[in-house]
Structures are given as C-alpha cells and as structure tokens.
Structure 1
Amino acid sequence: MTAANETSPHSAAAEPASETAPGTAEGITSHDLPLPAGLAKAMAENWDPAPAMPHPASRGGTPSTGAATFARNRAAVSAAFGGQLVVIPAGVLKVRSNDTDYAFRAWSAFTWLTGETVEGAVLVLAPSGTGPDSGHTAALYVREYEGPGTPGYFTNRVHGALWVGNVPSVADTGAVLGVATRPLSELGRDLEAHRGRPVLAPRGVDPAVDALLPSAEAGRLEQVLDELRLIKDDWEVSQLQAACDATARGFADVAAELPTVLAGGGRRGERWLEGTFWRRARYEGNEVGYSSIVGAGQHATTLHWWRDDGDLADGQLLLADMGVEVDSLFTADVTRTLPVNGTWTDTQRQLYGAVLESQEAAIAEVKAGADFLAAHRAAMWVLADHLHSWGVLPVTADVSCATDVEAPGAGLHRRYTLHGVSHMLGIDVHDCAAARDETYRNGRLGAGYVLTVEPGLYFQPNDLSVPPEWRGIGIRIEDDVLVTDGAPVNLSGGLPRQPDEITAWMREVQSRPVRP
C-alpha cells in the first residue's frame, strides 16, 4: 500500500466476496459483502458535510504553541540546503498482520519540521532560487479524507470519514501549524514543476514519494537534520518537561498497584504494571515512547526485558524503564528501581546506594562545554571503586586499559555495568542517531542538549563471581537532564531517587486511589 493508493486491504467492502480487493496484499481475499448498485447510489445522497474535526495541535482553534519552533527548524534546514529541493514525508501505515495496521507514528524529522503527525503527509521545501542563500518556500501536503457523496465515504476503511472520522481541513491545518498547506492530491503535479532539479529526500519512508522522485537521494539530509535537533529550544524543552511530568504520574500509578498485584499472587504482575503505565501514556499523550521495560527479580538483569510477562514476589526489586510520549511526539525516558514490598533489604540498599552515588557524580558532569562521555566516566569510576571495595574487582578503579574508553578497573567493571550511561533524548528516545560521532559521542555538550543519565549494576543469576545473595539483582536509575550554561536541570527530578524518599513516596501513592 502506498500513500497515493486510496485502496487497501481495508477498502474491501466494495468488492465481491470471492475477489481480492485492489491494493490488498497478495494472497489476501476479501470476505465482505458485495456493494449493490442501488446501495451505492443511496449512500451518495442526502448528506450534510462530515462533522468538522479540529486540529489536535490547536486549543479552541488557536495556532499551535510550537508554530514558531517549527518555522525556525524549517529555516535551519533551508540554510543548510540552499538551491536544493527538499522533500520530507511523514510515512505511511505499516501492516501488523493480514489487513490490520500498526498505529501510525510519523517520521520524527517530519514532525520536528511541521508539528504534524498524520499518515501520508509530505513537506516540500522548494528553493526560491538557485543560489545557496536563495531560501525556500515551504508547503505541507495533507490528505483530505473521502467525505459524504463520494464512494469512499462508505467503502474506504482507511481514508473514508464514515469509517475513521473526519480530519482537519487543509486550511485549518495550515492556520494551526503556521505553514502553507495544500491537498496531498496535488503533490505529484506540483513536483512536476521541479523536474530535473537536484532533490533531497529520505528513501524508504513513503513509497509514493520514492516513486514520484526516483532520482532523489538522502545525501547528508538525515545527518544534518539530526545534528540540528541536538539543541532544543524553550518550547521543545517544555514538551520534554511535560513528558517527564506525565511519566512521573505513570510511575506513581505503577507503585500504587504493587500491593494489589502482590495480594493477587503476583501472577504476570509485570504485564499488569506495563498496562497500568500504558493507560497513563495514552491518557496524557500519544503513546509510550518505547516498549516499556518492567523487570521484577532476575528479569531486571536483562537490559531490554520487553517480554514483561513475569510474576512479582515479595522481597524482589522491580526495575521499570518507561516513558510517556506526548502528543508532540517528544518523549521521556526514566528508570526507577523499587522494592516491591516497600522495604529495602540491607543488600538491596547497599547496591542501590552505589548506583545512586554514581548517577549523582555523572549528573554533575552534564554541563555546557563538557564532553559527552564525561558523565559516563564519572559514573564508571564510582561503580568500579565500589566493586573493588566489595572484593569483586581484583584491581582498583585507577588501573587503566589501553583499549577501553574508561580507566576504572581496567574495564573489568563492565561485566557488571554493561552499558553506556547516556544518550540524547528528544522527539526520539535515542535522539539524533544519524549525527556524526564528532558532534555526538566524541563531541562537546551545548546548552539546550537533553540527555539521559542512567548507570546501573547487573548481577546475573548465573554469575559465580559475585556473592550468592547478589545474583539476580539488577538496579538502574535514569533521569533526563537538560544542559544549560549553569547547573544541569533534572527534568525528571520530580520522581524520588533517595532510598528513604522512595519508600515514603510508595506509601503515599498507595494510600490514595489511582485517578486520571
């Protein structure tokens, strides 16, 4: 299925039951009722226009609060690619199975440039001249759904307004987002005016755009986009703060459910808690920003424990790595490790304290001008020092390894720490991934960068190098930190991290019902 094809596995209502609908995946047959000519004629008559749909980025019809940011972002891309046609698609629906699709999520750079999140939309930056300083004219192409009086109103399950509801008008979209907006049906004709001009477009995001622009190349486009996205302005920081605040409420919901899960025997408690957080994410935003990691007991030692199908038991630790993606698609990424029954054992508290100390040392290094890896080195030094003092590491933290990025413990600490401490955060959970090493991993932090700080200790259940009582314990603490010209700002600092504060917070949230 392509963005230009209005038929799909979902538009099969107009087809005879024994035939395959146009656009349906090969081998899939429609079993819907045929559409008699009389019904088709009747369905085309006696309708008022489809109910109006306000744009989700507006509040009472007012322009989006991010419109100035989107315009700034487009201007930055225009300055980088003067004289070149730039085409950025939102992407298309992806099949989940048979004739059902995944919920749509727009290509991140597209939303960063427009504030739009709908399937099939396309941004075109058309050069105003041929020189590198000529600037661009922006046009956003959005789909108009099939409305009353058209056959697709009743037959098109993907873009028929009777099936899925109407969409904002082209004019309303432009007014809300602050950009000239045109019907998607005009995209092909408008691009004809630029035939023969060099064009930049990401490949594989929208097959229809690929077909319209067969000579397009991505070139440096994705790299430049991601490097521009490293610095967040005030509006983008406000979106990340909103995501962190919603995430904190989701964590409170999860903590409040722990006694209920334990009282019920703990069966598949990870799934119950995953669903609890997902409800908060859907209520307060668009979705979760990534698959939630909810690991109880030894599951916490698996870094990406996405099965979330384990039981909960009294005395375990729960490692929950979760984030709400708000409607603008900016996401939080937060981890807390909680004692399931609300009480730390001496061993749990000892190990947790080391991770917390390492995180605090790392956050202190998050400042403008510092190199990206400074926080990682600070955290690893603290953890390696603890591991040596506990008799786990045979060497002190200051013993270096020529092939290792960290000096602590000749790199041997990595058996228990496993991963890096930070990654960029923004409209993607692992933001700006196409940026060059010299601007990201080997670069310097600038005011407006937002990154995670997430050290951990993981003692595998089969690791004979640590005491038996440590085996199967995983601890991670993660926060989202804004770089400024002064002290770092912990955007997710509203969630407690100190052991006693955590248990007091758990008692407090468990004393009141979970509410929207």
Structure 2
Amino acid sequence: MISEREYRKRRTRLGRKLKPYSVGVLFSATPKIRSNDTEYPYRQNSNFYYMSGFTEDNAALVFVKEAKNFKTYLFVAQKDKTQELWHGQRLGTDKAKERFLVDDVFEFTTFNEKFKEFVIDKHHIYYDFKLDYSKVKLLKRRSENILSFENLAHIVERMRLIKSKSEIKLIKKALSITKKAHHKAMKTAQKLQYEYQLQAGIEYIFKKYGAYSDAYTSIVACGNSANTLHYINNDKKLKEGELILIDAGCEYEYYASDITRTIPVSKKFTKAQAEVYVMVLDVQKEIIGMIRPNILRSDLQKKSEELLCRGMVDLGILEGEVKTLLKEKAHKKYYPHGIGHWMGLDVHDECPYKKLNGKEIPLQAGMILTIEPGIYLDKEDENIPKKYRGLGIRIEDDILVTKEGCENLSCKIAKEINEITRKSSSSPLNSFSLLR
C-alpha cells in the first residue's frame, strides 16, 4: 500500500516543476462501453492514480500555482443514493477531505465553475494531450489569457520512471502471485486439453491470491501459435511433444508484472527444442548481466540482436557471416521485437525513452524494465532446419536497476530446463486440481 504522504510528495514534486502562474489538470479515466449498456471493468487512468491514489471515475486533480506557491484541489463524484444503489458506494467530499492530503475537495459537478476561477490571471495550462476532445475544448474555452498549453503527462511519466520502495514492494507482490500461476501451469499442462484451460488456471491463481486483474490479456500459445507475437485466441489444443509459450502477469494494486515462460506440453523438452531454448536463455542471462546505471537500452538491444544472430548461425537457422547478417537485418525475421520495455503502473509503462533533446535516457537506479529475447520459427519456413520449424520461444523477466547493477525480481520463477521439467514432473494432478 502506498501512503497518502507519498502521494502528497509526488504532488509537491510535480507542483514545483510547473511554471509560475499556471494551472495543471489530471482527469480520471472515463468508463468504457463493452456493448450496449454494459461496461468494461473500470480501470483508473495511471497518471491520475499516480498523483492521487484515487480509484473512482468522475474525478479530477487540479494544481493552481502562483509565482512560487501552489495548491492542489481534488474533485470527486457527489454522493447519490440512487446511483450508489446501482453502482456502489462513492467516497464523497467529506470523506475525501479526511483521507486525501490536498488543500480542498469539491464535487465534480462544480469543475467548470471552479476551473474558470482558477485560470484568472494565469498564463499556462498543463493537461494530458491525450484527453478526449470534449475535455480539451473545455480547458481551452476558459483560457483567453493563456500564453501556452503544456503536456502534463510528459512530466508525470518522467517521474514514473524511478520507482519508490513502496512501488517496488507492490511489483514484487504481483510477481509472487505470478510465480504461483506459472508454476501451476507447469504442473498442469500435460493434464489439460486446450490453451484456454491453461489460461483459466493461471487467471484463477491471480484472483485467488488477491490480484483481481491480469496486467494484460494472457498469451497461451501452443506450437506454431507462439509465432504470432500477440496471440490471444488461446483456443487450440495442447499437443503432445509441442512447446507452450505463456506470457501472463497479474496486476496487484495497480502495479503490473510481465512474465513469459516457454514450457513443454509433455514433461520434457526434445533435443531440438532444448537447443533453441538454451540459446535464448543464455542470451537473456548475458543481457541481464549487462544492466547497471548509465547503460543505454539501445546497447542492450544491439547486443541481444548480435547474440541471437550468432546463436541462429550456430544452430543453422541462418547462414553467413554474423556481421553481414546483422547489417542486412536477416535476423529480424526471427527476432522482430525489442529486448524489453519499462514496467510499472502499466505493463508497458508509458514513460519516455528519450529526453526532450532527443537523446536516449540511460538506465538509472530505481527503473524497472523487462528483458525478453525470443526466437520465432514458423512451421512453413523452409529456409530453416525442419527440426526447428514451428518453435516459438520467449523468456521474459522483470529487472530492477540498482546502484550496483540490477536485481532480477522474477528470478524465483522457474526457467532452467531442469527446473521446468522438475515442476512438470511433480505430484500427479487431475483436471480438477485447479479448483482446489
């Protein structure tokens, strides 16, 4: 749990970054329609949540800055017994004033009126440029004296790059649950028939241990399905002798985990499967070993491409000189994605990779990123040895940059071949064990 004091510290840091005589606005997420009059489960806007810790819709957080000093105001939905009968309790202004360390709390219905007061004699307005048009129009309508409009999201997302101790603790908790889910999958895969059954078991574990949402739609891809990078159909049969690529992670108190493991449907890897798997695993280990402050993510990408290309040459998947193949980007056919991404409140944390001057942001202590090399060998590709066709292998861990180097936050999730086969060969399970 992140304390109200930590949220206030974040708001203080943000307020100090705003220009004199400015107003900054962050809005809550808007509920999204699934079909007709039903909605998707509500998920708060990450930037708004990062600055407030408030999970309701119809809310806004406003910064009003004079020459140096600033105040923060929270707008919340009004208490309404009829609405609460259908949609649940609202915090309301009175309880919000008790809970949140802001200067004042107002009902959201008064936002237009209050915003008009806030922008008097102000010269700059900060807001998230990704806002829907109606909200942008609202902010600009009251702004006759404004000299500039600034993207507040850029500032907040830069702040989100460095995780606090509380944030790291929540991500570790998410990973402890994700570990249970992946290990359960390793134990049950050979007893199930379909990808979606394995997915159901994984997501059951998420909820059982208090992670009420997955961080993204789970990928459970058996055999050649793993060669579709964002495969989410999860409707194919689990076939004896094939591998299953499982990319699944839970979200705990808004913080994500993101883990990929590739496991056999049977209890063991074939010789060909093991050859490719070990090559990818060795690459991942070497890239993780490079991580420390001031290293560039692009250096990790370049090295991963070099290592994977060399590995593919050694296995006969590619032919030729490594330098020439890299120059021609021949390896990208089988490794088309990046080595990893930022992770935090979003599984692909919406934090910048470059500074405003265009230079890349180097790694710093407190950043969390994924490392996920992969090889994708389509079964129809006759240019590669037949024994490797249809294999799709990715191994992904979540890495914290530390002052001395890095910490693999997901190191306890089995990934060595002997660990995976040991998990797969543990006590016999029947198809009903997922419910126990």
TM over 0.5: yes
Equivalents in 1 of 2:424, 2:92: separation in Å?
46
Q: Which residue of 1 aligns with 2:90?
A: 167
In the alignment, is the contact (CA less than 8 A) between 1:331 and 1:426 conserved in 2?
yes
Mark the runs of 5 or more structure 1 residues left unpaired by the alignment.
1-63, 148-152, 154-159, 402-407
**Using a 3 Å threshold, how does the CA distance of structure 1 residues 286 and 90 change in structure 2: closer, same or farther?**
farther
Secondary structure (helix, strand or coil) at the match of 1:141 reads strand
Counterpart residue number, 1:227: 158
Change over 3 Å in CA distance of 1:188–1:509 after alignment to 2? farther
Aligned AA for 2:77?
A: R
1: CA distance, partners of 2:332 / 2:30: 41
Paired residues of 2:221 and 2:246 also in contact (CA < 8 A): yes
Given residue 253 of structure 1, which amino acid in structure 2 is its aligned partner?
K
Residues 441 and 315 of structure 1, relative CA distance in 2, 3 Å threshold: farther
The AA in structure 2 aligned to 1:302 is: T
Question: Structure 1 277/171 Cα, relative in aligned 2: closer, same or farther at 3 Å?
Answer: farther
Distance change in 2, residues 1:318/1:174 (3 Å): farther
In the alignment, is residue 189 of structure 1 matched against residue 113 of structure 2?
yes
* Residue 81 (structure 1) shift: 1.0
State which of 307, 312, 322 in structure 1 corresponds to 2:248: 322
2:11 alignment counterpart: 74
Q: Using a 3 Å threshold, how does the CA distance of structure 1 residues 214 and 286 change in structure 2: closer, same or farther?
A: farther
Give the equivalent residue in structure 2 for 1:376: 301
Q: Once the 2 structures are TM-superposed, how far is the Cα of residue 492 of structure 1 from its aligned partner?
A: 1.1
Equivalent residues in 2 for 1:51-66 (5 A)? 65-66=2-3
The separation in 2 between residues aligned to 1:440 and 1:485, in whole angstroms, is 25
* In structure 2, distance between residues paired with 1:287 and 1:213: 33
Q: Residue in 1 aligned with 2:63?
A: 125
- The question of whether the paired residues in 2 share the 8 Å contact of 1:143 and 1:183 is answered with yes
Which residue in 2 is equivalent to 1:356? 281
C-alpha distance 241-390 of structure 1, shift in aligned 2 (>3 A): same
Measure how far apart 1:124 and its partner are.
Answer: 0.8
Cα distance in structure 1, aligned partners of 2:95 and 2:282: 51
Give deviations 1:113-172, integer Å, cap 9, x for gaps: 111122121111111x1x2xx13211221113411xxxxx1xxxxxx1111221234343
| Counterpart residue type for residue 73 of structure 2 | A
Which runs of no fewer than 5 residues in structure 2 stay unpaired?
A: none
Indicate the larger mover: 410-419 or 304-313: 410-419
- Post-superposition Cα deviations, 1:70-119, rounded to whole Å, max 9, x if no partner, equal 22221222122133100100121111111111111111111111111221
Which residue among 262, 268, 273 is the counterpart of 1:343?
Answer: 268
Q: In the superposition, relative to structure 1, how do residues 435 and 371 fare at CA in structure 2: closer, same or farther (>3 Å)?
A: closer
Matches within 5 A, 1:260-409: 260-261=191-192, 266=193, 269-283=194-208, 284-327=210-253, 329-397=254-322, 399=323, 408=326
For normalisation by structure 1, the TM-score amounts to: 0.77
Q: Distance in 2 between matches of 1:515 and 1:509?
A: 16
1:136 partner letter: F
- Report the count of equivalent residues: 424
Aligned residues of 2:369 and 2:399 also touching (Cα < 8 A) = yes
**Which structure is larger by alpha-carbon Rg, 1 or 2?**
1
Paired amino acid for 2:75 = Y
Q: Distance in 1 between matches of 2:354 and 2:3?
A: 27
Q: Is the 8 A contact 2:188 2:424 kept in 1?
A: no
Secondary structure, in 3 states, of the residue corresponding to 2:62? strand
Kept in 2: contact 1:335–1:476 (CA 8 A)? yes
Pick closer, same or farther for the CA change 1:510–1:365 going to 2, 3 Å: farther
**Higher percent of residues as strand:** 2
Distance 1:208 1:326, change over 3 A: farther
Report deviation, 1:460: 0.8
* Residue identity opposite 1:411 in structure 2: K
Cα RMSD (Å): 2.4
Tell which has more relative contact order, 1 or 2 (C-alpha 8 A, sep 6+).
2
**Structural mapping, 1:73-152, within 5 Å:** 73-83=10-20, 84-127=22-65, 129=66, 131=67, 134-147=68-81
> For residue 31 of structure 1, what is the aligned residue in structure 2?
none
* Within-5 A mapping of 1:457-468: 457-468=375-386
The whole-number CA distance in structure 2 between the counterparts of 1:115 and 1:509 is 43
